[in-house]
Structure 1
Amino acid sequence: MAEVRATAEVAEVDAQGVCWVPVRHHSPAATRAVRDLVARLRPVAVLVEGPADYTRIDQLLLAHTPPVSLMTWFRRETPERTQVAYALYPFAVFSPEWHAVRDGAASGADVRFVDLPWHAQVVVEEGGYDAGPAPTEGAALHRTDEVSASFFDGLAAYTGRREMSAVWDELAEIDPELGTATYLRRAALLGAGIRADGDARRDARALADRALDEAREAHMAAEIRRARADHPDGVLLVVTGAAHTAALQERLAEAPRADELAGPPPTPADLETGQALVPTSYPALDEQRGYLAGQPSPGYYDRVHRAAGAEAAALTDTVLTEAVAALRDAGATLSAADLIAARAAMLGLATLRGHARPWRDDLVDALTSTLVKDTVAPDAATSADGGHPLLNRVRELMRGDAVGRLAPGTDVPPLVVEVEARCAALGMPLTPQPTTHTLDLEDDADRERAQLLQRLRVLEIPAGRLVRDVRGPDPQGPIGTQVGARVDSTQEWRVRGGTTVTARAVLASRWGASIEQAVLAVLGRRAAEGDVASLTSALLDAVLCGLPDLTGRLSEQVEVGTLALDRLPELVEPLGVLLRLHRFDRWYGTTDRADLGALLRLVGLRCVELVERLGPQGPGAPSEQLAVALRRLVDAVVASPALQDLEPRLAAAVAEQLARGSTRSGHAPEALGALTGARWLLASVAPRDLAAVGPEGAPDPAGTGEWYAGLLAVAGHLALAAPEIFDPLDAALRHWSPDDFRRALPDLRRAATSLLPRERRALLAHLGGGLVGASSPVGGDLVVPEHELAALLAREDALWALVEEHTGPLRAGTAR
């Protein structure tokens, strides 16, 4: 600790004429110190921790409305893969870096970012541009400091706070009269201690972090020396994260080290990099929502930054009153006495903790102790969801809903300009108020509009929302209706612009300089995942986006991936996508395309082969997945001319599976029911022959309900096309004993839920009002004897009594 203290205690301006300002990246106290130092010292240069390759400081000086972020990205395409990633450097109105740039420039200082460019940091972290996977998208550059059980643990025990944000508040934020000198001393001590803790760790993560820190500090030190050479006289104001300050001071006190002289890692010639400003929001900057370098409750710290004098002293009182009002608006029953109790608890906690004024966690803890009557998690004060609905509402209030705006004249990437221009040129201007557009895909101009909106969807730019898609064949309808079904070729889109659209368009720029280039990169990235489902999804989007050049490459990848799959459920979804493209999407030019037809046939043939090789299907999920897969497979084979010659082979495969018998095949009753349904749907079995099929594969009544579930999941839509098919099964069911029926009833109910409402109505109308065979003892009526009904009610009452025994009395009006 002595070494840390000695390192941290430095003069406001050192012997080299440098004023070191260690900061937390979003801190009203750090902001006050930066503004005071710029005003008093009038530095010749202000050097800020930020990507050194961003030199458009003039863009940051425009009249933006924070919060905004500086986004930096890189893109590199190689024959093996496309590597695309980005990072964000956010600025809130209470961020010290924001005011260092703007106040420094206003005072005439030379303002520069001095940190290692982000793409070079990736090289250090990943071991090279080609080493390992692409970095995680959207990674926050600044990470929360993770420290060992030494300096920080002692500091946490001293302050009585457990996590970094609360410790920082105790040291820097709570006292509104904290002076700049005291701030600098405390921030330097905290940063040096955290860095010492990190250096003491020896795990793999710590070593990787240390290598990155050293690379960044080498670059910052070299930039500071360069600025000193450019400005031999006057003060250099250096604003960096507190954990870097001591290391930079040590470097600048001696001759340049080898890593400073070597410079950053070389940048490959084919690497594309870029930067742009993008609006962001307080919810996105909230530490409790996942942004590791943020502050919890940024809206609260915004108000701390703006408040002064008596307003600052009464700030938390004001927030408490607003919180109680918000809770009342949300339906909480709170009285004046509750408000008084909460305020008294808040003031008591602030006094107990030695706070100069009530603070954010005093407020949250007071509300938790006085208003929340339920058990909350131990970390409710710092958790993302607050641990309770009342606390969630308070957190939402303190989080704030501010959304940043870029000033007119801000440079934006070409893709952003293209998005706005293309939408306007096609008669869909991006206005704040949403407009509705009905597009007929049979019309060339409307199809071009739809393709543009689909491209924006793929890029996750929310300029268009598909309200109603085209209406084609009903995949749940009777077999055979797909081919002759009437197709409504119109779509309805809701189109709008706004800050979110602009921000997402800027983010999408990392994929390419134009819309088409970016979409190709996104779909290429999805295709690189390799599984057939991702490939066919990318293939469908390529068609919807009007990118025929890409479909050929994706089709080849689907073909390779298909041959590697050995589970039927994994192939039926891609089969459905290909069937749609080849058979029905005539407005996109894919109907009857030879290459898609060949690919559809390959996937269909592979599905049939998997049915032929089908292993034993157990109860539960395997049988349920088989039922869904068989339904889709049979529908595809019957509906598509490209697959119809596979129908006899599929029918033979299904018959062979059934012929094995339940004991030898190992299929569960539900799987056998699904296979029976598939056999019904295929041309090998005519309706008049179904009586011979009967409830095949149901060895006992207890399993028959499961068999029905599988059957109806596959062939339930025959209730519309040929309900008489179910007469033999209905007759068999009516001969069950009451005990057999009760045992099978849960599965029979589940079987019925697989039917669409119109199918269920058609089947009940047929079975309830028609003849079901002379052997039926009750004709067409469903009669439940009175004593059986009484027995069922008694069993239900006993069940609810057991439930209440474990859960307590149910509220009045609770549906049983």
Structure 2
Amino acid sequence: MSTFGALRRQLDDAAETFAGSPGALSEILTGMVDDVDRALGERLEIFPVCHHSPASALAMARRLRDKQPQVIYLELCEDLRPLLDELRTCRLPVALQAFATELDGFPESWGPLSVVAPITEASAEYQAIAYALDTPGVELVLVDRSSDHVFQWHPREEPGRPAEEAALHGDAVGVEIGDLRPRFAELEEHLLHHGKVRHWSEWWDQYVEQPLAGADYDTYRQVMVLIGGLFRRLRPHDAAKLDRDEDRERHMWTRMREHLAATGADPERCLYVCGAFHAASRVEEFGLDAARTDFEISPRTATNWLYGLIPSSHSAIEAQFGLAPGSVSIAAATYDKAVSRGGVKPYTLKGQQKGRRPGTKPPAAPVAVADQLSEFLSKPAQRDPLDEAELLGWCVDIVRLARRNGYLSSTADAIAVYETSILLAGMRGRARPTLYDFQDAAVTCIEKDTVPGRRDVRRLCEIMLGGDRIGEVGYQSMPPLAQDVFERLAPLGYDMTKRAVHRVLLDLNADPELEPCSHLLWVLRRLMPEHAVRPIMGSRRLGERSVQESWDVALGHHQRALIELGYEGVTVEQVLEQRLRRSVWEPKATAADALQAVEEAILFLGGRRFTDELGARAVELLAAERSVDDAPDVLRRVRRLLAHYRATEPALPEWCERFVTTGYAQYCTLLPTAFVAEDVGVRQVAAMLGFLASMESLALSLGCDRAQLELAVRQSHPETPGKIALLWAARFQLGVLTIGELRERCAELLANPLVVPSFPQYLSGFVQALEAAPVLTPFVVEVISGAFARLPDEVLLPWLPTLIQTLREEAPELVPVLIREAGRTFPATLTAVDAWVPPWTAPSGPGGAEVATATGAGAAGGPVTGLLAAHPAAADALAALLGCEGGWKTLTPAGSAPGHDASGGSPEVAALVARHPATVDAVAALLCGGAAV
């Protein structure tokens, strides 16, 4: 007869009484009993657990001491087994991690792949791991699917469960033992409502944890399997999730049978630790004597998986697995209290805490399973007596902590919390207040309606109970890269065991041997999160060298990021090189990205070979681009790189020359289209013109043809105001327009009331044009000044916000250039304003105003000529520096008389002018509008 025959008949009668017929309810109730009977009747002992459950951890410790198993099969990813030996050097909680960036067989959008399995002290799996690793002759076998199979079995549209809130775990897929939670919302809501609790963690603590904390082993095992069977049978029908759960069970039983067949181990001396949900499995492969044993495990993909330990925390576990905030901390406090009371001696890995040794009792003989489940379900709930001393201690501690955090709490609040805790427990059917009752009472009596500081009372309760414990990975368990980082930072006196922010001061002139530490900190700044390594003083840019530096180093807070760097290489320099190479070869890489990679390679890595490789890639990307969105970034970066190479190298690298010639031809080709394209802004077109103008001399010396640019400008026909102003500036730069013609066009715009509202956009175009034609700076100041002088207030005042916003958004770096020019143009004192004459209105010889504005020099006899005549020594010194022979020659105005010797007496120059009079006439007309030679 079945062990649970009487209980099955009792449940059948109850189903018929309450439901009117045996039907579906009877099937569910008796099916749960069948699950218990099947699990407990298996030759291989099954130990059902719930993840991070103190009751499971205590029951595991008791059972291990009684049974002393020789083989433990544990529900964890089988490829994580080598990491377990490294737990000795760590402070829990930590997480086992499998990490992959180079994917094979998975969509690229999933990368990087990450699987974590957190381990806490208050967990049954830690007890099993500690027992197996510290007991000679005991073998620990992980039997769950590998990290590769975790993603193989995921639907293609569902790469993993996101966990943005879990900072220490990131978006890794969590693997846990014993996910005991209702699989649909209706059941969970029903249990919470009738249990008079707020969330699932509190329900579990009240109705499962507390009753099972002191229960015997048979009762614990039968109840856990019963709960697992209930949730399994009441879950909604989801074929995909059902298949994954059952495939995991088939995988585990297949691995256990394979191990038993290979080693010949006695099943009576083995223990199978799995979640209670899987203990109630109904797959055909269940058990050592299963009817079906032909489940085929698919091979792993060629994805290269890397393994390591990362720090974890209670809050990270709660966020990743959807637990209530504070529930893991409460579970840890419950576990610590149970251990301190005695009755059970848990296992601890040697190296984490001394003085603990596994028990040496002889193994217990197997006993027949008795029906403890009927008694447990039929007897009324045991009402624990009120522990007044414990509750009083909680109330005093929370009031003391609240006062430290700015709350005006007193002894009266402590009394109120005490009484309210008892009241809430009574309303919820409990004689003894739990930590959840105490939390609610503290919030009600202390916090009231205001939070004076950063922490609310619920958070203070968690801190009082131990806080958010954050684990730490030991030095020996870190990858070589992390160990190398700490060794190289040793001269700074950095203590890796401290989580506090460490302030580092470096005087590189007084201590040149600290240069390698400075270099390492800058590389870490590039690779790690923002606050892991933060410079307070000092910078690293091309052409700069910091004499003194100050850093805030918080590697203890960012152990996970440092450890994951170790998955990518042996040193941080190798990781940076790999990332830079990968960034320029990815499909969406641009020429600007490649130039940034070149700059970072120069700053952090040095060496010519790698920078030349990145530079050659930049040339390829620029030649292939059909968009000019990154033109401003390209212009800024290539200017900086050219300045660096000209200052440090005897000649430009070959890739720089090819980049200039390729960019000149590319932007000349794209210029007409960019002028009329609606999706190309004024800033992008201005950057293209700036590239063409600033790189023109170098490009022409390398074989480019200026006719390309002239033809491109002629083919450009913009329609928007900003681009029209850019085209006028480009034509001025090419000599097609004069400054006088630009002045006339701007005057026409200001005189047209229909154009005045859009005049700020013309100004923005002129400001942007300073990238290509900086000589126009005085003219832009003139145009802005003229607008302020001519426009009436009813037009000017509404126009000013648009002008300011346009300049701020489109030309913020060029506004200081205009301000400096205005400072040189306008008088410095208020008294000088009345007598001040704008330079663009003062005549200076033939066409003098035009010449003064466009060139900064007057016509013959102007200020420049007078300055040279007054100080001939400067001109002689410059001529000698350039290798020109001959003394000072008195300059006479060009075009003063027909046939005048424009060279000032030099026969060679006179002969040259005579042979090419058209050139001299053109120059004279451009500068002075003067007579022909």
8 A contact 1:324–1:339 mirrored in 2: yes
Q: Which moved more, 1:637-646 or 1:100-109?
A: 637-646
How far 1:764 sits from its partner (Å)? Answer: 6.3
Map of 1:755-794 to 2, 5 A cutoff?
755=812, 762=820, 765=823, 766-767=825-826, 771=836, 773=838
Q: Which moved more, 1:315-324 or 1:532-541?
A: 315-324
1:51 equivalent in structure 2 = 77
Q: State which of 470, 481, 492 in structure 2 corresponds to 1:403.
A: 470
2:504 equivalent in structure 1 = 435
- What is the rounded CA distance, in whole Å, between the counterparts of 1:697 and 1:174 in structure 2? 84
Give SS of 1:694's match: helix
The aligned amino acid for 1:31 is A
The question of 1:168 aligning with 2:209 is answered: no
8 A contact 2:58–2:213 mirrored in 1: no
Q: State which of 476, 479, 483 in structure 2 corresponds to 1:413.
A: 479
- What is the rounded CA distance, in whole Å, between the counterparts of 1:306 and 1:196 in structure 2? 34
The question of 1:2 aligning with 2:29 is answered: yes
- What is the rounded CA distance, in whole Å, between the counterparts of 1:364 and 1:713 in structure 2? 62
Give SS of 1:511's match: coil
2:538 equivalent in structure 1 = 468
1:613 equivalent in structure 2 = 673
How far 1:232 sits from its partner (Å)? Answer: 0.9
1:504 equivalent in structure 2 = 561
2:175 equivalent in structure 1 = 142
C-alpha distance after superposition, 1:11-43 (max 9, x if no partner):
99544140322212x233332232232233333
Q: Which moved more, 1:397-406 or 1:15-24?
A: 397-406
2:67 equivalent in structure 1 = 41
8 A contact 2:73–2:256 mirrored in 1: yes
Q: State which of 273, 279, 292 in structure 2 corresponds to 1:245.
A: 279
1:276 equivalent in structure 2 = 308
1:584 equivalent in structure 2 = 644
1:531 equivalent in structure 2 = 589
Q: Which moved more, 1:101-110 or 1:253-262?
A: 253-262
The aligned amino acid for 1:528 is E
Give SS of 2:684's match: helix
Q: Relative to 1, partners in 2 of residues 1:736 and 1:46: Cα closer, same or farther, differing over 3 Å?
A: same
- What is the rounded CA distance, in whole Å, between the counterparts of 1:286 and 1:299 in structure 2? 10
Q: Which moved more, 1:65-74 or 1:685-694?
A: 685-694
Map of 1:33-112 to 2, 5 A cutoff?
33-56=59-82, 59-60=85-86, 62-74=88-100, 76=102, 85-106=113-134, 109-112=138-141
8 A contact 2:45–2:272 mirrored in 1: yes
8 A contact 1:69–1:279 mirrored in 2: yes
Q: Relative to 1, partners in 2 of residues 1:586 and 1:774: Cα closer, same or farther, differing over 3 Å?
A: closer
Give SS of 1:200's match: coil
Q: Relative to 1, partners in 2 of residues 1:217 and 1:598: Cα closer, same or farther, differing over 3 Å?
A: farther
How far 1:115 sits from its partner (Å)? Answer: 1.7
The aligned amino acid for 1:247 is S
Map of 1:46-445 to 2, 5 A cutoff?
46-56=72-82, 59-60=85-86, 62-74=88-100, 76=102, 85-106=113-134, 109-125=138-154, 139-142=172-175, 147-148=183-184, 151-152=187-188, 154-160=190-196, 164-173=200-209, 177=213, 179=215, 183-196=220-233, 200-202=237-239, 207=240, 209-226=241-258, 228=260, 230-232=264-266, 234-247=268-281, 251-253=285-287, 255=289, 261-266=295-300, 268=302, 272-283=304-315, 285-288=316-319, 290=320, 296=326, 298-308=328-338, 347-355=422-430, 356-360=432-436, 363=439, 367=443, 371=447, 373=449, 390=456, 394=460, 397=463, 400-407=467-474, 410-421=476-487, 431-432=495-496, 433-437=502-506
8 A contact 1:572–1:632 mirrored in 2: yes
8 A contact 1:627–1:713 mirrored in 2: yes
8 A contact 2:253–2:287 mirrored in 1: no
Task: Count how many residue pairs are aligned between Structure 1 and Structure 2.
Answer: 720
The aligned amino acid for 2:310 is V
- What is the rounded CA distance, in whole Å, between the counterparts of 2:307 and 2:407 in structure 1? 46
- What is the rounded CA distance, in whole Å, between the counterparts of 1:692 and 1:238 in structure 2? 92
How far 1:727 sits from its partner (Å)? Answer: 2.2
- What is the rounded CA distance, in whole Å, between the counterparts of 1:86 and 1:298 in structure 2? 23
How far 1:613 sits from its partner (Å)? Answer: 0.7
TM-score, structure 2 as length reference: 0.63
The answer for unaligned runs of 5 or more in structure 2 is: 1-27, 163-169, 342-384, 497-501, 842-933
C-alpha distance after superposition, 1:406-456 (max 9, x if no partner):
446x344333344445566xx66754455344669xx9x998766655554
- What is the rounded CA distance, in whole Å, between the counterparts of 2:759 and 2:394 in structure 1? 63
8 A contact 2:635–2:690 mirrored in 1: no
- What is the rounded CA distance, in whole Å, between the counterparts of 1:460 and 1:767 in structure 2? 49
The aligned amino acid for 1:414 is P
How far 1:741 sits from its partner (Å)? Answer: 1.9
- What is the rounded CA distance, in whole Å, between the counterparts of 2:238 and 2:191 in structure 1? 18
Q: Relative to 1, partners in 2 of residues 1:732 and 1:647: Cα closer, same or farther, differing over 3 Å?
A: farther
Q: Which moved more, 1:512-521 or 1:669-678?
A: 669-678
C-alpha distance after superposition, 1:499-525 (max 9, x if no partner):
456543332232245555544543455
8 A contact 1:278–1:406 mirrored in 2: yes
C-alpha distance after superposition, 1:635-656 (max 9, x if no partner):
5445546568798866876787
8 A contact 2:782–2:840 mirrored in 1: no
- What is the rounded CA distance, in whole Å, between the counterparts of 2:693 and 2:192 in structure 1? 70
Q: Relative to 1, partners in 2 of residues 1:343 and 1:755: Cα closer, same or farther, differing over 3 Å?
A: farther
- What is the rounded CA distance, in whole Å, between the counterparts of 2:466 and 2:692 in structure 1? 55
8 A contact 1:585–1:591 mirrored in 2: yes
- What is the rounded CA distance, in whole Å, between the counterparts of 2:100 and 2:276 in structure 1? 27
2:743 equivalent in structure 1 = 691
How far 1:267 sits from its partner (Å)? Answer: 5.4
C-alpha distance after superposition, 1:715-735 (max 9, x if no partner):
499999945641233122222
8 A contact 1:713–1:751 mirrored in 2: no
- What is the rounded CA distance, in whole Å, between the counterparts of 1:589 and 1:47 in structure 2? 65
Q: Relative to 1, partners in 2 of residues 1:33 and 1:678: Cα closer, same or farther, differing over 3 Å?
A: farther
How far 1:460 sits from its partner (Å)? Answer: 2.7
The aligned amino acid for 1:142 is V
The aligned amino acid for 1:460 is M
- What is the rounded CA distance, in whole Å, between the counterparts of 1:239 and 1:721 in structure 2? 80
